[in-house]
Structure 1
Amino acid sequence: MNFFSKYPVLIVLSAAMAIAVFFQCKSDKYKPVNEDLSVVKSELLKTNISFEKQVNELITLVSKNTDEKTLQEKFENLRITYKKMEWAVEYFLPNSARFINGPALPEIEMDEHTELEPEGLQVLEEMFYPYTPENKDETIRFLKKLINKSNTIKTNFQAISMSKDQVFDAARQEIFRISSLGISSFDTPISGTFLKEMPYSLKAVQLTLQQISTQQSKTALQKIDAAIDSAIAVLKKNPDRNSFDYVHFIPDHLNVISTLLLEFKKQEGIPNIEVTSALNKNAASFFSKNAFNPNAFTPGKEFAFSDEKAALGKKLFNDNILSNNNNRSCATCHIPEKAFTDGLARSMSLENSELQRNAPSLNYAGFQHGQFWDMRKDDLEGQSSDVISNKEEMHGDLNIILDKINKNPSYLPEFKKIYHTQKAETWQLQNVLASYIRSLAKFNSDFDEYMRGTPSAMTEKQKQGFNLFVGKAQCALCHFIPLFNGTVPPNFKKTEQEVLGTAVNGDNKMFDQDLGRGKFHETVAALQHSFKTPTLRNISKTAPYMHNGGYRTLKEVMNFYNKGGGKGFGFKVENQTLSDAPLGLTDQEINDIIDFMGALSDR
């Protein structure tokens, strides 16, 4: 069985981190569970009882060598039952959720350089589609692990307290999960049953809102009920992943529901959860202007974004003062007209020789946990100092640079005004440069305008291309809507990497030996030749492509994916995370997808 077949490796959240996230999300404005919310917990516990019963039934059926079709039907019903409580499990028990319905790939403990065995529904999906009797014992073993997780759900939901603001926030996150992971078949990559499951996720949100509502929100609740019922009717009409009309379903149904949730929140007087999150609490949809909060990706409060910081960072970004010999600026390799790339296969060193990799776009880099292709730096602050001090790129000395800045009659007063210190410090220099890069996310493409309610913003070919992008081509499995990068919605707390099996160029005749992230984790097999999943926003401006710049056109990139990545071209890439199954896209379909990607360019 191949566990490295569908998704990028995910970085594990420790139990301690998960607990911390939970308590961070708690609002002090509410006391422990009251009678009004006991019905919510009761429903969750009842659903979990059904979940455990169905797991035990599957164990019995597998033990009795039941036929494949029956096992698949029972498994699909089990997944549906989980979907009924997913909104709460994902929110209140994120670490458990990862091992119930996370990707069928090992979790990586980065600090220990170790891998944890994948488990849960996605691992079982690989066992049931197709089902092989020889895997009977392994199938039962993983089903029994689900029993343990069900017990965890029971124990926790009997003990934890909930508040109305938490329950609402969890329900809202589920709508955004459906609008990104759910709509892309992220957790049913083989069976493709996600469109059949989504009505149950929506019904669970509908029921939960009914349970916490009062007469104050009667009007909003009626609208939400109607919108959810309308969405479910569309889903039931066509559950085929390859022909479903995603491009209309998202704005006409899912965005409508998420917008109505804010009306419900207002009528009920529900306060915001007091925690910094990537998606602003008052964003009507993923595609609202200013929907994303850049401060969710900074190292701490003192690094918070401001227009003043970004303006100062822009000046320094374009100033040769940051290089050793005052002969190169950040803008040398990150040109605005080329979406802050340089248009070269590989950037050039100070000595005019090729560097190892292609210069990545800085647009939307602020919405990633991991910088550079190999993710060797966690944030943009670390990224900037790494480039400045790199002897091949800028060969700058931060101490010398700071001395020049502190003697500069233009720069020093601005640092003093922003940071209220007598002189500029290293972290402040890093922060203003990072702030400028964070300002480069414009979210004003034709695609954004379309999703905000302007049907004419995209052409019919681009709309068809989006449907293919999400459906048949499965691009959205890794380039998550709406950022179109590897930062996982709806919480956006981690960024993924992929093992594609990339060749040295678009001829696809020779495997590229660059270890990527594996260079820093030599004992972790899953990370060898892995690279960050970059954003596709502004992709039409950033040729050539891939980490090595070996693919000259988007057509070459699409041909590579269409064939099944490196494995499809015969490369021995045992840990390839990209599915090696050919996509079967026609030339016209590829052209439509490329046309759609053009709609992702900022204006």
Structure 2
Amino acid sequence: MNITILKKAYILMVCLFALNYSCKNDKDYTAVIQNEKVTPLDFLAESYKSNLNQCIDALEALENATSFETALSYYREARNHFKSIEPILSFIDKNNYMSLNAPNILKIEEEDATDIKIKKPFGFQVIEEILHEKPLDLASVSNITEKTKNRLKLIEQNTHIKLKDYHVIWLIRDQIARTALTGITGFDSPVLEASLTEAQLGYETIKNILNTYAENFSDQTLLKKWNTEIKVSIKALQGDFNSFDRYHFIKNHTHKQLALLNETVKDWNLEFPFELAFNNTMTSLFSDDTFNIDFFADYVEIDSLKQTKQQLGKTLFNDKKLSANNTMSCATCHKQELAFTDGLKIFPKQKRNTPTLTYAALQQSFFYDGRTGNLEGQIVDVVNNVNEFHSDLSNLQAVIKTDSTYFKSFNQLYPNGVTDANIRNAIAIYVRSLNKFNSKFDNNINNIEQTITQSEINGFNLFMGKAKCATCHFAPVFNGTVPPNFTETEFELLGVPKSTSLPAIADTDLGRYHIFKTEERKHFFKTPTVRNISKTAPYMHNGAYADLETLMDFYNNGGGIGLGLEFEYQTLPPDSLHLQPNEIKDIIAFMNSLEDK
């Protein structure tokens, strides 16, 4: 073997040893990198592969375990190594990461009616749940473990890490957000609730990455600030899952880390080629500056025209001339004073409850059944619906052209003037502006005001922890669009009954099933936001629940199965959450604090 290659391999081994056993002196391995010209990326890749191989080895041992105690020990070891590589794996191989970390429910992929894939889940969450089923079935554990191990082996064989410096920043930002928004909620540790310990491992990896790139820092005191902050954060994460104070962790640590990340961008003199779901300068998870709204649209809007287009869209939104008989506008069903709902169980001649339009732009599917993929498409459905506008796109265009004010505005704002696409675009831009992030909760977690009550803080901590609400209603939007990538909006089967009358009767609306007739999608509905929930009663797709108290009782008792109904694919755990009356009261207080001002 070439002497140079041997020397480089030896240096990398020294780096790994320094990383694993000498973290008290972060310069131990960075000095080796600098002196021997091993690049930070070389070291990062070798460290990643080392943990990946140790994860595979632990799964190999788990595959052959003969007792629960031994199996659990190897599972924890494998899981810890997986969590150590999570920041990198989730960034360079998102699809495989999501498969390995997926919940224990069927994965349904519906591209179109001719391309429907139904995949049985595998990965760490599945192993964890099967391992704790009674009676213990080690053969099933072994089968899922083998599939998980083989996927990791495939990843190891095909991994070639190529990261630019700005990728490293994005990678760290994603892990900080992931920890706050899914990690500490128990999203991926459903039985063991080992989320806090696993979050510590993620922070250790962030620390190691930053110190690996120590030579990038022109201001070494900034790196020291990072090391101190991560040390304090890890200490804060050493507690009980149910009693953990998630509110103050995010307020005092997550947001501080995002600010440090912005300082790091300036210190490294970085420029980003584009923005992902998060704005590159975001410093809060709960702000109107958090999201790049264009990420959720089909094309990027020109900033100088956006506000004027919003005003045009608002006028169109409230104009009854857009309907065939001049009696209905968008605002007929979406009243601003009710957070753009209508306060009705179901609007006359409609099939389902009217959802809020606030924060509607921050998702990837529209309508309860997800039948359209953007706001413009949703508007087409409304225009064509015989029980709504009862019109068509050509008529819509003709109506706008006959109005001189509209005609002039469109010619000023759009190169091709009045077209049905431009009309829909203007309305969609207005709807995309309805994300205020100025609620009592937002203002308090952002230190704008100090008015939040202990009950509301308790409610947030329960929502994000013991009650498991945030494992479906993901912060910061509290809808079903999964952070930190925000590329998928989830659908759930809760087992909603026809009404609150007992004995319970299953609702006949099959939801997502109607789109592609996929049997496994019967009764599935998109997870909506709970922001402004204080104004959007009644609740659920059929308006079955008139108030939050009865709705919380439904969740607390295991959904439809808890009511005695049979749903093979219910995604809401059927067991009681064991929430006490005061805890439910606190959760409701928190949800009410999400009302926009």
TM-score clears 0.5: yes
Match among 388, 395, 398 for residue 400 of structure 1: 395
- Counting only pairs closer than 5 Å after superposition, residues 348-363 of structure 1 correspond to structure 2 as 348-349=348-349, 355-363=350-358
Pick from 121, 126, 129: which aligns with 1:126? 129
User: Aligned partners of 2:214 and 2:70: how far apart in 1?
Assistant: 40
Tell whether 2:453 aligns with 1:462.
Answer: no
Alpha-carbon distance between aligned partners in 1 of 2:228 and 2:527, rounded to the nearest angstrom: 37
Check 1:303–1:282 CA distance in 2 against 1; reply closer, same or farther (3 A cut).
Answer: closer
Shift of 1:35: 2.2
Aligned residue for 2:59?
55
**In 2, Cα distance between the equivalents of 1:248 and 1:581?**
29
Mapped pair 1:371 → 2:366: yes
RMSD: 1.7
Q: CA deviation at 1:303?
A: 9.2
After TM superposition, give the deviation of residue 147 of structure 1 in Å: 2.2
Aligned to 1:282: 281
Which segments of 5 or more consecutive residues in structure 1 lack a partner in the other structure? 1-32, 350-354
Flag the structure with more relative contact order, 1 or 2, with Cα contacts below 8 A and sequence separation at least 6.
Answer: 1
How far does residue 580 in structure 1 lie from its aligned partner after superposition? 0.7
Equivalent position of 2:147 in the other structure: 145
Distance (Å, rounded) in 2 between the aligned partners of 1:536 and 1:331: 20
Secondary structure of 1:110's counterpart equals strand
Aligned mate of 2:505, from 495, 499, 510: 510
Distance 1:540 1:460 in 2: 19
- Flag as ranges the 4+ runs of structure 1 deviating above 3 A: 130-133, 301-305
Q: How far did residue 397 of structure 1 move?
A: 2.4
Aligned position for 2:209: 208
- Which residue number corresponds to residue 347 of structure 2? 347
Distance 1:113 1:562 in 2: 33
For residue 377 of structure 2, the aligned residue among 373, 382, 385 is: 382
Aligned counterparts of 2:134 and 2:142: Cα–Cα separation in 1:
12
What is the deviation of 1:464? 1.1
Match of 1:262 in 2: 262
Matched, 1:76 2:70: no
Q: 1:477 maps to which residue?
A: 471
State the partner residue of 2:541. 547
Q: 2:71, 2:149 → 1: CA distance?
A: 17
- Between the aligned partners of 1:92 and 1:435, the Cα distance in structure 2 is 32
- Within the alignment, does 1:220 sit opposite 2:233 as a pair? no
Compare 123-132 and 87-96 and name the one that shifted more: 123-132
* Contact 1:113–1:524 under 8 Å retained in 2: no
Instruction: In structure 2, give the amino acid aligned to 1:428.
Output: N
The whole-number CA distance in structure 2 between the counterparts of 1:457 and 1:292 is: 25
Q: Give the direction of change, closer, same or farther, for the CA distance of 1:576–1:438 in structure 2 (3 Å limit).
A: same
Q: Of residues 143, 154, 157 in structure 2, which corresponds to 1:155?
A: 157
Uncovered stretches (5+) of structure 2, i.e. residues with no partner: 1-36
Look up the equivalent residue of 2:385 and give its one-letter code. Answer: N
Residue 521 of structure 1 deviates from its aligned partner by 2.5
Matches within 5 A, 1:575-586: 575-586=569-580
* Distance across 2 between alignment mates of 1:160 and 1:474: 35
8 Å CA contact retained: 2:533, 2:595: yes
SS in 2 for 1:295: helix
Q: Secondary structure at the match of 2:424?
A: helix
Aligned residues of 1:346 and 1:358 also touching (Cα < 8 A): yes
Q: Give the Cα–Cα distance (whole angstroms) in 2 for the partners of residues 330 and 172 of structure 1.
A: 38
SS at match of 1:150: helix
Map 1:173-188 → 2, pairs under 5 A: 173-188=174-189
Mapped contact 1:72–1:129 kept (Cα < 8 A): no
1:544/1:551 contact within 8 Å kept: yes
- Give me the whole-angstrom Cα distance separating, in 1, the residues matched to 2:280 and 2:302: 21
- Structure 1 residue aligned with 2:490: 496
Identity level (%)? 37
C-alpha distance in 2, partners of 1:318/1:243?
47
8 A contact 2:55–2:77 mirrored in 1: no
1:431 aligns with 2:425: yes
8 Å CA contact 1:217, 1:264 repeated in 2: no
- State how far apart, in whole Å, the 2-side matches of 1:48 and 1:145 are: 15
The structure number with the bigger radius of gyration is 2
Residues 130 and 397 of structure 1, relative CA distance in 2, 3 Å threshold: closer
The answer to whether the Cα contact below 8 Å between 2:510 and 2:523 also exists between their aligned partners in 1 is yes
- Cα drift, residue 498 of structure 1: 0.7
Distance 1:567 1:574 in 2: 9
1:297 corresponding residue in structure 2: 296
Question: 2:557·2:576 contact (CA, 8 Å) conserved in 1?
Answer: yes
The corresponding residue for 2:31 is none
Q: CA separation in 2, counterparts of 1:163 and 1:131?
A: 48
- Taking the aligned partners of 2:391 and 2:221, their CA distance within structure 1 comes to 61
Counterpart of 2:513 in structure 1: which amino acid?
G
The CA deviation string for residues 406-446 of structure 1, in whole angstroms up to 9 with x for no partner, is 1211101111111112x311111111111111111111001
User: 1:83–1:201: 8 Å Cα contact kept in structure 2?
Assistant: yes
Partner residue of 1:4? none
Equivalent in the alignment of 2:26: none
* Contact 1:365/1:438, CA 8 A, preserved across alignment: yes
Contact kept, 8 Å, 1:442 with 1:602, in 2: the verdict is yes
Deviation larger for 564-573 or 260-269: 260-269
Name the structure 2 match of 1:529: 523
* Match of residue 563 from structure 2: 569
Per-residue CA shift, 1:334-360, capped at 9, x if unaligned?
0000000000000124xxxxx211000
CA distance in 1, matches of 2:414, 2:444: 40
**TM-score scaled by length of structure 2:** 0.90
Contact 1:499 1:530 in 2 (8 A): yes
Offset, 1:243? 1.1
Cα deviations across residues 3-46 of structure 1 (Å, max 9, x unaligned)? xxxxxxxxxxxxxxxxxxxxxxxxxxxxxx98231111111011
- Cα distance, 1:69 vs. partner? 2.8
8 Å contact kept, 2:492–2:571: yes
Amino acid at match of 2:278: L
Give the superposition deviation at 1:271: 2.2
Distance across 1 between alignment mates of 2:186 and 2:219: 33
Instruction: Confirm or deny: 8 A CA contact 1:115 1:524 kept in the other structure.
Output: no
SS of 1:179 mapped into structure 2: helix
Supply the AA of the counterpart residue of 2:140: E
| CA positional deviation for 1:203 | 0.6
Structure 1 Cα separation of the partners of residues 329 and 288 of structure 2: 31
CA distance in 2, matches of 1:213, 1:331: 55
